[in-house]
Amino acid sequence: MSIGRPPAARPIALAGLLAALWSGWAWAHAFPERSEPRVGAVVRASPAAVRIWFDGDLEPAFSRITVTDSRGQRVDRDDARVDPQNRRLLGVGLRPLAPGAYTVRWRVLAVDGHQTEGDYTFTLKGPE
Amino acid sequence: MKYPRSLPWVALLFVAHAGPAWAHGVIGKRFFPATLTIDDPFVADELSLPSVLHIKGSEAKQTTLGAEFSKRITPDLGLSIGAEYNFIDPNDPDERSSSGFGNPELSVKYTFFKSAAHEAVLSLGFGWEIGGAGEKSGGAESFSTLSPALFFGKGLGDLPDTLAFLRPVAVTGVFGAEIPLTDEESNRLTYGVAFEYSLPYLQQFVRDVGLPKPFSQLIPVVELLFQTPLDGGKTTGTVNPGIIWAGKLVEVGVEAIIPINSETGKNVGVRALLHFFLDDIAPTVFRPIFQ
Ligand SMILES: [Cu+2]
């Protein structure tokens, strides 16, 4: 029951819902689609950066990423940022890494206000 | 017209009744999809439309179309209203088939414990099937049934590295009672668990095994749901293996319904669900009324 609502409101609301369904892939909780280095990967060379592509646009001011070694020491360059050209891409530079296991932790705010967080590891293998 | 109580489809209807509220949720890095058979522990703004169930019992075939809308009052307190329409087709050709609305169900759920680090959640729920509000032709009872329940959810993301490939596993469950407000039926315990293996979780947090969409969005599930009458009657139940595809705004799920004994039924049924994440579709509209 909608008192005083213009008759057009309902079709407009429905159209808005449908539009959200079709275009809305940029909305909602943001989860990663892929990463470099890849989740759980073993890499041979020290990567210059960690980059994560999300499935939705991020709020740059509230999106964070850090990388730590197995002792918990930060090895990133503390320059995490959302790519201005691609608001789904979050990255951070890395200092030269020694062989070992590294943990990437991220916490992002999607543009709709939903926060998500996660972590993964990758391993740098030394020369054989 | 009043159906005799002894008809097996009366027992079968519990299969459809038992999952009146489907919720999805995110806790820590874990996304829990809406499960099809048992209610899960989250409150959310969401819409299940439709849910479909079809099963052949020893006396009748039952097809149920259901819908449910859930709304958060606060971030941890939610209300749901569910309705269903039943088609009942007796196997005996001399009996007439019938159809009609089942009783609607109102429910409230409150999440009282959450741990992001342990991907754990606990909630209390209370359901009220409104007796006499549906149609006899749809199998609706004239009496109400109350259903208090405890819900839990736990993701295994905190397993050690040696068991990393089990981290995508999550378990949700329910332990509750159904209290019919009548002398004709005994009280029953209702309990079940759902096991999920989240391929999105595997790809995003454990190991990128290179699955392309839509396979990277699939969550295989097995749900078990049992009901034990407290008057000494036999336990009935179903095992429900299936698969859920979870997009960002909608999910689709399908499961087989396998009766555990002849008291439950003899034939395998099927259920399916189309579920909309309203809080993600329109976050400014579908949010808790009180923050
Ligand atoms: Cu949901």
User: What does the pLDDT read at residue A127?
Assistant: 75
Enter the ipTM.
0.78
Q: Is A26 on the interface with B (CB under 8 A)?
A: no
d(CA A32, CA B166): 20
Query: In angstroms, what separates the C-alpha of A100 from chain B's closest C-alpha?
Result: 15
Between CA B84 and CA B75 the distance in angstroms is: 27
A73 Cβ neighbours under 8 A, 6+ residues apart: none
| Residues in chain B within 8 Å Cβ distance of A118 | 29, 204-205
Name the minimum distance, in Å, from the CA of B35 to any CA of chain A. Answer: 19
The arithmetic mean of pLDDT across residues B153-182, rounded, is 96
Q: Is the pLDDT of residue B271 over 60?
A: yes
B107/B127 Cα distance (integer angstroms)? 4
> Per CB distance under 8 Å, which residues of B are interface residues toward A?
26, 28-29, 31, 116, 164, 200, 203-208, 248-250, 277, 280-284
Highest mean pLDDT among A1-5, B103-107, B275-279, B281-285: B103-107
Tell me, what's the pLDDT at B11? 44
A39 vs B207: CB contact, 8 Å cut-off? yes
For residue range B213-261, list pLDDT tens digits in order.
899 999 999 999 999 999 989 999 999 999 999 988 899 999 999 999 9
Q: How far B209 CA sits from the closest chain A CA (Å)?
A: 9
Nearest beta carbon to residue B208 from set A25, A34, A119: A34
Among the ranges given (A19-23, B105-109, B232-236), the one the predictor scored with the smallest mean pLDDT: A19-23
> What is the rounded CA–CA span in Å between residue B116 and residue A53?
23
B contacts of A112 (beta carbons < 8 Å):
280, 283-284
| pLDDT at res. B140 | 92
pLDDT at A23 over 90: no
What's residue A15's pLDDT?
57
CA of B177 to the centre of ligand 1 (A): 23
Residue A67 pLDDT more than 90? yes
The count of CB pairs under 8 A between chains A and B is 70
* pLDDT-wise least confident of A22-31, A35-44, A102-111: A22-31
Q: Are A96 and A104 in contact (CB under 8 A)?
A: no
Q: Which residues of B touch A20 (CB under 8 A)?
A: 249, 281-282
Residue A23, Cβ density class (10 Å: 0-12 exposed, 13-18 middle, ≥19 buried): exposed
The pLDDT score that the predictor gives to residue B4 is 36
| Residue position matching structure tokens 């009657």 | B233
Least confident window among B12-21, B42-51, B181-190, B229-238:
B12-21
Q: Which residue(s) pair with B238 in the sheet?
A: B225, B259
Compute the distance between CA of residue B9 and CA of residue B270 in angstroms, rounded to an integer.
Answer: 15
